[in-house]
Structure 1
Amino acid sequence: MRTALLIAGKDLRQRLRDRTLLMYALLLPLGLAFVFNLVFGGVGEETTFKVGVLDGDRGAVSAQFVDGVLRPVEESGAIALRTVQSRGEGEKLVEDGDLAALFVIPPGFTAAVGSGAETAIEVVGDADSPFGAQVARSIATSFTSQVTTVRLAVALVGGDPEDARRAVTSAEAVAVQDVAASDKQLDWSTYMAAGMAVFFLFFTVQFGVSGVLEERENGTLARLLAAPVSRTSVLAGKVLLSVFVGMASMVLLIVAMALLFGVQWGNLVGLGLVVLAGVLAATGVMAAVAAFARGHEQAGQWQAVLAITLGALGGSFFPVAQLGGVMSKLSLISPHYWFLRALSDLSGGASAVDVLPGVAALTGFTVVTGALAAYGWRKRVGA
């Protein structure tokens, strides 16, 4: 073990002198995280849409929509409600961008509900605020669907149409429940910071495991093996370097991102387990690639392609798993996915025990790729 540590220390000093390791381990992930934070920093923040309502009915059912649906939604912070006195006024506010959408309740709405006649709540949306308009349409659709359901239920039991009106006005029109978006989901700043950290981790650890190929091409590997140094010690030294620089990089990035971007990482014990498992998985993957490459240059190319591919599939740049379908399944083959998923759990308040499935998945990558690397390097070092 002492020999392996000496080899790892020697390689670390060499890597630090050429500054390349520092660039991949710290400067690039921090720089890109800063850029993404500037560009997408507002994504995912709570948004309040300004909407208006024109109650042309002023009946019991329209009052239930305004007071039983719109007011509770307004109290939740999703919308800011404004009452308008005429359709022209409301449409002018929508056209000027002062309202994202306008609800128009037609005259006779309550009577139509009671008699079973056809009626509707009209939504006038701002073309420049599609999300606000969609939110308004969803609210109106939810309420009118409930009205239709109540009317059909009353009709099936042979009730009077007036019973339908009373049922609509007495029923709870909407239930507003506050579900924090941070639960089981990283906020955008944290997501991009974590994505950049794990993406460049795979480039950082390659400096250790690829060192054997450099030593072989430079002729120093033969001299090492000619000395009283075992092949196991040489390989162990390279792997130790990868694990050390990977862990050092992740720790520095975690601290820096917490200070610079206010990232909340969650349970520290769980975070430590996830980071260690992620570093070992990255080391195993990069070691397996290097073990079967013909030379240092080819290994670097293969490792870069694989790191970018796994990073994209795993969601380092975008939560690919949320697309569903085939992409959701493909993301499971990437260590990046399991790393980011575990961090999402921690961000939602999970304990160290809760992230063990993610840690186990990352450990699985380590075992499989580590076995492949051991098989390939046994032949490589003996060549």
Structure 2
Amino acid sequence: MSTILAVAGVEVRRFLRDRSNIFFVFIFPLLLILLLGSQFGAASGQSHVSLAGGAGTELEQRLASRLTADGLRVTSGGADAVRADLSRGRTDVGVFISDAAAMAFDDGRPADVEVVMASQSAAQAALQSVRASVQAVDAGQRQLAAIEAAGVGHVEAAAALEAARDAVELPRLEIVDTNNVTQEFTGLGQFDLGAAQQLLLFVFLSSLTGAATLIQARRLGVIARMMSAPVTSWQAIAGQSLGRFGIAVVQGGYIMLGTALLFGVDWGNALLAGLILVLFAAVSAAAAMVIGSVLDNDAAASGVGVGLGLVLAGLGGSMVPPEFFSETLQTVSRATPHRWAYDAFAIVQRHNGGFVDILPQLAVLAAMAAALLVLGALLLQRSLNRAL
């Protein structure tokens, strides 16, 4: 076992020695997830409004209560913090309450509040909801002022107005969405979908392009020198596979942890998500073994790895969600490991599925990994005796 681990360690060090791999494995995926989530990510299903200023005043309390009642998620913070959240897309709308506006509201005079919308697409709908909530607070204040102008005290006027609201049943509008695709993405976080897609894309792509290191090891005689030591061919093969598998798992785990900490991505049950990653990484490593054993040119292997990785990722739903595919393309996509891993992540992330729920997907991934690993091992063993 120590021999296999030593071979795997050498493979990992050879991979990391190329500085470009560090960028494309650890930095570029997070940048792409940030870009895609900011531009195309689904909203969390509940618009976020941040209130700045006027803490503890009646205006702030009335606005917060009304916004919450209207289905908006409301938080409070300092003006600088709210502006920073707006610029980073962490909140949809910021409402800034000045001291003068709070005092004017208490005195029954018109109060001006500043409303700032973020740049993301979902902010426009949130702004309309905020406007409706502000208008409702304004209407309530005007009604209270009209009752007080008739000679009724403030306390009695507020109580009478509240009683009137309770006595009148407002009309309700209930919208039932029967679109299965819409329901599938309901409640999905802004970065959740993109994170799962890019995880599958980059783990598989990095593994395939890493097949070039296997060809270089064969060409430079690294494997031949290894075989001159007391190392069997199957130990060399197992070490090569384990090294590539370790790189894929580390990259996938890094993406999962990074997106959870930086973007708040919800991966569902951590153990199940990790199990999906492990099996998908096994498939990726085994596929790299096949390419690295069949081809003799490392440049050609990199090109084939990029092309094949992008094509399979596109067919498997790592670029466009497979829920939008036609029935024919849906069937084709199930020939890729990406689709089975995508479905497993969807069950865990969106539906809080358990181990039994994703067992079919895990079984298919395990079968793919085993088949590719056996094929790659046989091809690599044959290539050890083939002159380059």
Tell me if TM exceeds 0.5: yes
Superposed, 1:100-111 pairs within 5 Å as none
Match of 1:279 in 2: 281
Segments of 5+ residues of structure 2 without an aligned counterpart are 48-68, 72-124, 126-171
In the TM superposition, what is the alpha-carbon distance from 1:343 to its structure 2 partner?
0.7
Match of 1:189 in 2: 191
Could you tell me whether the CA contact under 8 Å between 1:193 and 1:257 is conserved in 2? yes
- 2:361 paired with 1:353: no
Partners of 2:185 and 2:34 in 1: CA distance: 24
In the TM superposition, what is the alpha-carbon distance from 1:210 to its structure 2 partner?
4.2
Provide the secondary structure at the position in 1 that maps to 2:318: coil
Match of 2:40 in 1: 40
Could you tell me whether the CA contact under 8 Å between 1:204 and 1:246 is conserved in 2? yes
Pick closer, same or farther for the CA change 1:216–1:209 going to 2, 3 Å.
same
In the TM superposition, what is the alpha-carbon distance from 1:367 to its structure 2 partner?
2.0
The superposition leaves residues 51-76 of structure 1 with CA deviations (integer Å, 9 ceiling, x where unpaired) of: xxxxxxxxxxxxxxxxxxxxxxxx99
Within the candidate set 279, 288, 291, 2:290 is matched to: 288
Residue 373 of structure 2 aligns with an amino acid whose one-letter code is: G
Residue 276 of structure 1 aligns with an amino acid whose one-letter code is: V
Superposed, 1:67-106 pairs within 5 Å as none
Pick closer, same or farther for the CA change 1:178–1:354 going to 2, 3 Å.
same
Partners of 1:298 and 1:371 in 2: CA distance: 23
Within the candidate set 357, 373, 378, 1:375 is matched to: 378
In the TM superposition, what is the alpha-carbon distance from 1:226 to its structure 2 partner?
1.9
Residue 16 of structure 1 aligns with an amino acid whose one-letter code is: L
Residue 366 of structure 1 aligns with an amino acid whose one-letter code is: A
Pick closer, same or farther for the CA change 1:18–1:209 going to 2, 3 Å.
closer
- 2:349 paired with 1:334: no
Residue 355 of structure 1 aligns with an amino acid whose one-letter code is: I
Superposed, 1:5-24 pairs within 5 Å as 5-24=5-24
Match of 2:201 in 1: 199
Residue 13 of structure 1 aligns with an amino acid whose one-letter code is: R
Q: TM-score, normalised by structure 1?
A: 0.62
Within the candidate set 360, 365, 373, 1:362 is matched to: 365
- The count of corresponding residues between Structure 1 and Structure 2 is 263
Could you tell me whether the CA contact under 8 Å between 2:41 and 2:193 is conserved in 1? no
Could you tell me whether the CA contact under 8 Å between 1:25 and 1:249 is conserved in 2? yes
Partners of 1:184 and 1:276 in 2: CA distance: 28
Partners of 2:174 and 2:32 in 1: CA distance: 41
In the TM superposition, what is the alpha-carbon distance from 1:177 to its structure 2 partner?
5.5
In the TM superposition, what is the alpha-carbon distance from 1:294 to its structure 2 partner?
2.6
Partners of 2:298 and 2:186 in 1: CA distance: 41
Partners of 1:191 and 1:277 in 2: CA distance: 20
CA RMSD of aligned residues (A): 2.9
- 2:233 paired with 1:231: yes
Could you tell me whether the CA contact under 8 Å between 1:21 and 1:207 is conserved in 2? no
Partners of 2:173 and 2:18 in 1: CA distance: 63
Pick closer, same or farther for the CA change 1:284–1:12 going to 2, 3 Å.
closer
In the TM superposition, what is the alpha-carbon distance from 1:207 to its structure 2 partner?
6.2
Residue 288 of structure 2 aligns with an amino acid whose one-letter code is: M
Partners of 2:212 and 2:18 in 1: CA distance: 16
In the TM superposition, what is the alpha-carbon distance from 1:354 to its structure 2 partner?
1.2
How much identity, in percent, do the aligned residues show?
Answer: 25
Could you tell me whether the CA contact under 8 Å between 2:208 and 2:287 is conserved in 1? no
Within the candidate set 262, 265, 278, 1:263 is matched to: 265
Could you tell me whether the CA contact under 8 Å between 2:208 and 2:309 is conserved in 1? no
In the TM superposition, what is the alpha-carbon distance from 1:7 to its structure 2 partner?
1.7
Partners of 1:31 and 1:225 in 2: CA distance: 41
Segments of 5+ residues of structure 1 without an aligned counterpart are 48-74, 78-131, 133-172
Pick closer, same or farther for the CA change 1:287–1:175 going to 2, 3 Å.
same
